[in-house]
Structure 1
Amino acid sequence: MTAVSADGSRVHTELHGPEDAPAVVLAHGWTCSTAFWAPVVRALSADHRVIVYDQRGHGRSPAAGPGGYSTHALADDLAAVVEAALPAGRRAVLAGHSMGGMTLMAAADRPVLRERAAAAVLCSTGASRLVDRARVLPLRPPRVRALAHRALLGSRAPLGPVTPLSKRLVRYATMGPGADPATVEVCARILHACPRAVRAGWGRVLLDLELDGRIGELTMPTAVIAGTADRLTPLEHAHAMAAALPHCTGLIELPGLGHMTPVEDPEAVTGVIRGLVEEYGTSRAPHPSTTQKPHAKEQTA
């Protein structure tokens, strides 16, 4: 189906699984598409209603409308998808990877999120200071490294065809050292398929991302997932988000995994989503206001 965002942008949306099953909404990251979630969709769709969509300009969603590229547009598009694909009165567990997690934070103040999200998952993501904290380019001093990361994020350079060299670069930048060749191949093809203008447009949004103030507005139960070998959004992001969330159900660290956790270990990510669905997915009552934040539970999967 197609959801129509506030500025008229058309958002390609897919619905998988039984219509009356517990619902899950999946938001992918920068330069990815619905294809990125394929292992998670396959695992969940037998007994869940899985809603997955292409962020504007990615996959089958056309380039941005008048609203362009911004965190506001991310929130608008998510709200449009939830309203179009989730029947009235139904709630869902929302999971976002990388820029998809930033989408959930950007939409935290939207009434539709507060009313329709039973729980949330922030997977391999961060709220701010992305270029300062990234470890893709091991340069010193930190200021030089940050400048290099800024140039990388905003680049319009063509990626070219998928080659053995480009796959090695994708593995190094986005995945853990144990990633299998087939998974690297899939990720490389997804990343290379993103139009360079779209990649640069969203990259400029990520350069100066500042969503720290929105984390406290994610009042629904929220899990945080991170790979210990993530160079793009290192663990310090996950720890900061877990500490700031009003209701963090746990910080799950996946040893040796990089940034692409949903494809590197789909069973672990799917397990977290299933757990939230089982505990909170059928709840229809509004989330109570939180006056005291519970301590985040840290665990290693």
Structure 2
Amino acid sequence: MLLALIQRLFALISLALLAAGGYLAWSWWRLHEILQPLPGERLDAQDWRLWTGGALIAWSLLGRLPMALLLGRRGDDQARFEHEAGVSVETADGAVLHLEADGPQDAPVLVFVHGWAMESGTWWEARRALAKRFQVVVYDLAGLGKSTQPRDGHYSLDRFADHLLTVVNRAGRRRVILVGHSIGGMTVLTFCRRYPEMLGQQVAGIVLENTTSVDPARTTILGEALHAMEPVLKPLMRLDIWLQPLVWAMNWQSYLSGATHLGMRIGGFGTRPTKAQLNQVALDATRNSPAVQAKGNLAMMAWGVADDLPAMRVPALVFIGGRDLVTVPSAGEVIAWKLPQARPHPVQDAGHMGPMELAEEYNTAIAAFADEVFSQGARSADAVQGAGAAAAASSDADAVRPRSEPRPFA
């Protein structure tokens, strides 16, 4: 939510700079070509219009290159945030999800759900760090990346939770930990509310990264002030849907100028990101449909699960970014306090994109949490098996048997 507003603000600033550059260049041309100078009159003093206008136009088209150098640091040259080969999974509402998987097909499963306006490529570091021990599954949320919109174009967190269920069902007998960042965490919490019978069973645990349990406008750095502006923000977001081609063009111009990079650096990161990380976040926010982003933002405004948290009885790891402006630390603290089996994991220097900028700390904690949760599940299964008798093979056992055999994710 806040990142979308920051992106729009900087896009307008970028457009204003382009317009100013165009005006200055035009005014210089007008002086020299339309208003012919008198004999002996010199107009050299007005050449600043040409140079300044040209510089502003050049910055508006090429500014992302110097901005990336100024705002980002050198990082892993092998970083690959783009899509890889995957499979297409159709949901009940007609959305086709692009899904990718790494790691052993017989290993416990970690399903990652990315943040809004982003794509599954943001999990590149997690895939590299965790796929040796777990099967890491990532997918694009409906309408983002390579995934398509629902058939009717309607968006809600309930639908995102149903899409997540479609992905989880592909794990068959294997136990799963759900990992969600930002709206991904909101999706995981909605899943827990809608499918409580799966908690502690097939869903062995959940990981919530820099997320909230209420309308995210209320848990930004602007807090209730932004929430109070929703009667104005909602019509503006609907305008994004109706004027998508114009908004998309404005977003691309902002990306080229580097204004989007500046906005994402301020709003998204708590530390200095790598150039590749910063560019990927800016690129995802630019190339994904403004109409889809607006629909998702409207859906988030109508969402909340705070009252349902005490009933979600599942082991939970809650990451709290100390420098997060989009979901302030208190948002995660409330979740960790209300979930019965939650443990908070503060990350002091993390901004909203903490899972990307401080990936090593996040992924190390996820691995330790997964080892603990999956090992507890294995011990429980062994205890049940050891105590079983003939009834273990009866229809009663069939009643709790998973619905399907394992199927490869990709």
Same fold (TM over 0.5): yes
Contact in 1 for aligned 2:218/2:226 (Cα 8 Å): no
Whose helix fraction is larger, Structure 1's or Structure 2's? 2
User: Given the superposition, is the C-alpha separation of residues 255 and 144 from structure 1 closer, same or farther in structure 2, using an over 3 Å criterion?
Assistant: closer
User: Match of 1:255, as an amino acid?
Assistant: Q
Task: Mark the runs of 5 or more structure 1 residues left unpaired by the alignment.
Answer: 287-301
Contact in 2 for aligned 1:230/1:258 (Cα 8 Å): yes
Structure 1: distance between partners of 2:264 and 2:336: 28
1:191, CA displacement in angstroms?
1.8
Structure 1: distance between partners of 2:231 and 2:145: 25
Residue 136 of structure 2 is matched in structure 1 by 50
Question: 1:107 aligned to 182, 188, 191, which one?
Answer: 191
Structure 2: distance between partners of 1:149 and 1:180: 37
Q: Are 2:373 and 1:280 equivalent residues in the alignment? A: yes
Contact in 1 for aligned 2:212/2:219 (Cα 8 Å): no
Residue 386 of structure 2 is matched in structure 1 by none
User: Given the superposition, is the C-alpha separation of residues 150 and 125 from structure 1 closer, same or farther in structure 2, using an over 3 Å criterion?
Assistant: farther
Structure 2: distance between partners of 1:208 and 1:236: 20
Counting only pairs closer than 5 Å after superposition, residues 191-210 of structure 1 correspond to structure 2 as 191-210=285-304
Contact in 1 for aligned 2:125/2:356 (Cα 8 Å): yes
Residue 2 of structure 1 is matched in structure 2 by 88
Contact in 2 for aligned 1:150/1:207 (Cα 8 Å): no
Q: Are 2:229 and 1:147 equivalent residues in the alignment? A: yes
Q: Secondary structure at the match of 1:52?
A: strand
Structure 2: distance between partners of 1:71 and 1:186: 25
Q: Are 2:352 and 1:267 equivalent residues in the alignment? A: no
Q: Secondary structure at the match of 2:127?
A: helix
Counting only pairs closer than 5 Å after superposition, residues 192-231 of structure 1 correspond to structure 2 as 192-231=286-325
CA deviation map 1:22-70 (0-9, x unaligned) = 2111011111111111111111112211111111111111112237200
Q: Which has the larger radius of gyration?
A: 2
Residue 177 of structure 2 is matched in structure 1 by 93
CA deviation map 1:159-202 (0-9, x unaligned) = 22423221011111111143333321121112212111110010
Q: Secondary structure at the match of 1:18?
A: coil
Counting only pairs closer than 5 Å after superposition, residues 177-196 of structure 1 correspond to structure 2 as 177-196=271-290
Identical positions, percent: 26
Residue 255 of structure 1 is matched in structure 2 by 348
Q: Secondary structure at the match of 2:261?
A: helix
User: Match of 1:151, as an amino acid?
Assistant: L
Count of residue correspondences: 279
CA deviation map 1:204-251 (0-9, x unaligned) = 011232111332233110010021111110011011001110101x21
Task: Mark the runs of 5 or more structure 2 residues left unpaired by the alignment.
Answer: 1-86, 241-246, 382-410
Structure 1: distance between partners of 2:180 and 2:214: 16
Residue 332 of structure 2 is matched in structure 1 by 238
User: Given the superposition, is the C-alpha separation of residues 13 and 217 from structure 1 closer, same or farther in structure 2, using an over 3 Å criterion?
Assistant: farther
Structure 1: distance between partners of 2:371 and 2:226: 46
Question: 1:167 aligned to 235, 257, 261, which one?
Answer: 261
Contact in 1 for aligned 2:206/2:316 (Cα 8 Å): yes
Question: 1:40 aligned to 126, 151, 155, which one?
Answer: 126
Contact in 1 for aligned 2:270/2:354 (Cα 8 Å): no
Structure 2: distance between partners of 1:144 and 1:210: 16
RMSD: 2.3
1:143, CA displacement in angstroms?
3.2
TM-score, scaled relative to structure 1: 0.85
Q: Which deviates the most, 234-243 or 159-168?
A: 159-168
User: Given the superposition, is the C-alpha separation of residues 204 and 145 from structure 1 closer, same or farther in structure 2, using an over 3 Å criterion?
Assistant: closer
Residue 290 of structure 1 is matched in structure 2 by none
Structure 1: distance between partners of 2:94 and 2:274: 40
Q: Are 2:270 and 1:176 equivalent residues in the alignment? A: yes
Q: Are 2:120 and 1:28 equivalent residues in the alignment? A: no
User: Given the superposition, is the C-alpha separation of residues 258 and 105 from structure 1 closer, same or farther in structure 2, using an over 3 Å criterion?
Assistant: same
User: Given the superposition, is the C-alpha separation of residues 96 and 149 from structure 1 closer, same or farther in structure 2, using an over 3 Å criterion?
Assistant: farther
